[in-house]
Amino acid sequence: MQLIERIKQHTGIALIDAQQTVSYGQLVQQAEQVASQLAAHQLVALVMDNSVAAIVDYLACLMARAPMILLSDAEQLELYTEYQPNFLLHSNQVSALTPLSVGQKAHDDLRLLLSTSGSTGSPKMVRLSAQNLDANTAAIVEYLELDSTARSITSLPLTYSFGLSILNSYLWAGASLVVTETSITDKAFWTMMKEHAVTSLSGVPFHFETLQRLRFFNMSLPALKVFTQAGGKLRNEVLQAFAEHCQVNQQRFYVMYGQTEAAPRIAYLPSEHLLEKLGSIGISVPRGKLSLVDENGLAITEPDQEGELVYQGENVMMGYAANRDDLGLGQGESVLYTGDLAKRDADGYFYITGRKSRFIKMQGKRLSLAHLEETLKQRGVTENACLGQEDKLVIAYADAQQQATIEDYLKELNIHPMFYQLLLLEQIPHTNNGKVDYPTLKQQARL
């Protein structure tokens, strides 16, 4: 695997936490010690938190060619009984679970199983190979122009594909990573940012909305040069504010788009086009290809026509898994039908317009829940989430003063009050990777 080979060749600092600084040489040595206790092609349940020990364990699995399921805590192990893990790995401690003679041997190329939703506990998993991870990592390093002088921080969980891709890309480049469990709302996080001269900060829309409320633009962080944002669409007003801040401070801001099924990066917007193409996901990552197809699967070549976004590249997953038997399957076709609807402008830049599954029929008309959320945000209802089923729309919101704004918009859409429910909450629930937690909302709305 190229990632491991590159890590073995690097010198200098790899990881920094509150207690220690770990060189590349030390990181490789520690990972090799753990790897010696594992077996190739046998499944590892890895407890993955934002710690040096967990990163050592992750690299040990890659070195041993032992595929892994990432758990946020050991208690989640029972959720994955269908997969019969052979080992539990936690803080460099290996425990045998299922005898090696039991269960389907994993495919030679399989390295990682990730939940499709970004939240753990889903029995359906994405199967990622060494090639998938290498291809995705190399593309990220290229378009972000990463080198050994770069330094990021674990602002996202390493169990989340976005957070894990940051780890992979920085280690690939011989760069360094500040490892912390603290969040952007903790003073300790910003202390580490300053003390260790972090050059890059990554987040999902929730992070950047929060940063704006924290008066981030008033902070003094002279080392910070790059922002990367993925995990959903960031409101154009917030994006514009960051873009203008970056212009003044000679910083770069990259909007990115991806799915776990692509390990996970699919598209990025070059920072120099951020204001010009506000709201775009940009262009394909290096060595990938983006296209649009209509409802019949035929290619759309004209600009500004909506269709399903399709991605091709070596980072497209091997396929899905539902149980241990599926781990022996090989690489499927390297084409991913994303399920997202998009348009392409005359310059070849893509814009997400909705999600195929995020539509409901309302009084006989097709209604995009994503468009509804975005329009409400533009009208000042910054915290909202829309869900529903045929002739039943639910809008969750977190500010009682916004009720009239929501009702006025629904009146414009000619949606009768008997067909919608407004759900006032203290806050909109989010998963640990910052995305709206629609399953929890569905329970609260009793759908």
Sheet holding 335-344, edge to edge: 289-293, 307-312, 335-344, 350-355
Does residue 61 contact residue 110 with C-beta atoms inside 8 Å?
Answer: no
Does residue 157 contact residue 50 with C-beta atoms inside 8 Å?
Answer: yes
pLDDT at residue 51 in the model: 98
Q: Which secondary structure element, helix H or strand E, spans residue 57, and what is its range?
A: helix 52-64
The tens digit of pLDDT for each residue in 134-177 reads 999 999 999 999 999 999 999 999 999 999 999 999 999 999 99
pLDDT at residue 121 in the model: 43
Please list, in sequence order, all residues whose beta carbon lies within 8 angstroms of the beta carbon of residue 152, skipping any fewer than 6 positions away: 166, 170, 175, 176, 177, 178, 198, 199, 200, 201, 202
- What is the average pLDDT score of the chain? 93
Q: How many residues does the chain have?
A: 447
Does residue 107 contact residue 128 with C-beta atoms inside 8 Å?
Answer: no
User: Maximum CA pair distance of the chain?
Assistant: 66
Cα distance between residue 381 and residue 392, in whole Å: 20
C-alpha torsion sign, points 399, 405, 410, 411: positive
pLDDT at residue 108 in the model: 96
Question: To the nearest 5 percent, what fractions of the chain are helix, strand and coil?
Answer: 35, 25, 40
Cα distance between residue 268 and residue 273, in whole Å: 11
Cα distance between residue 391 and residue 361, in whole Å: 6
Does residue 35 contact residue 61 with C-beta atoms inside 8 Å?
Answer: yes
Complete domains list, the chain, with CATH: 2-350 (3.40.50.12780), 358-445 (3.30.300.30)
- Tokens standing for residue 286: 């290096």
pLDDT at residue 364 in the model: 67
pLDDT at residue 115 in the model: 85
The tens digit of pLDDT for each residue in 338-348 reads 989 999 999 99
pLDDT at residue 90 in the model: 97
Does residue 150 contact residue 196 with C-beta atoms inside 8 Å?
Answer: no
The tens digit of pLDDT for each residue in 396-445 reads 999 999 999 999 999 988 888 988 999 999 999 988 777 888 888 988 98
Shortest CA distance to 22 belongs to which of 112, 92, 113, 111?
A: 92
Under the banding of pLDDT at 50, 70 and 90, the label for residue 365 is: confident
Residue matched to tokens 């910054």: 382
Strand 283-284 vs strand 289-293: parallel, antiparallel, or unpaired?
unpaired
Cα distance between residue 210 and residue 251, in whole Å: 19
| Average pLDDT of span 183-189 | 95
Q: Between 401 and 232, whose confidence is greater?
A: 401
Whether residue 118 has pLDDT greater than 70: no
Residue 342 CA, distance from chain mean position: 19
pLDDT at residue 101 in the model: 81
Cα distance between residue 44 and residue 319, in whole Å: 19
C-alpha torsion sign, points 350, 356, 358, 359: positive
Cα distance between residue 162 and residue 260, in whole Å: 8
Whether residue 394 has pLDDT greater than 70: yes
pLDDT at residue 117 in the model: 53
Whether residue 119 has pLDDT greater than 50: no
| Average pLDDT of span 183-202 | 96
| Average pLDDT of span 111-139 | 84
pLDDT at residue 272 in the model: 96
| Helices 161-172 & 2-9 angle (0-180, nearest 10) | 50
Shortest CA distance to 395 belongs to which of 360, 414, 369, 371?
A: 369
Whether residue 356 has pLDDT greater than 90: no
| Average pLDDT of span 62-72 | 96
pLDDT at residue 120 in the model: 39
| Average pLDDT of span 9-16 | 98
Q: 130: helix, coil or strand? A: helix
End-to-end CA distance of the chain: 46
Name which of 44-58, 109-123, 199-213 the model is least confident about: 109-123
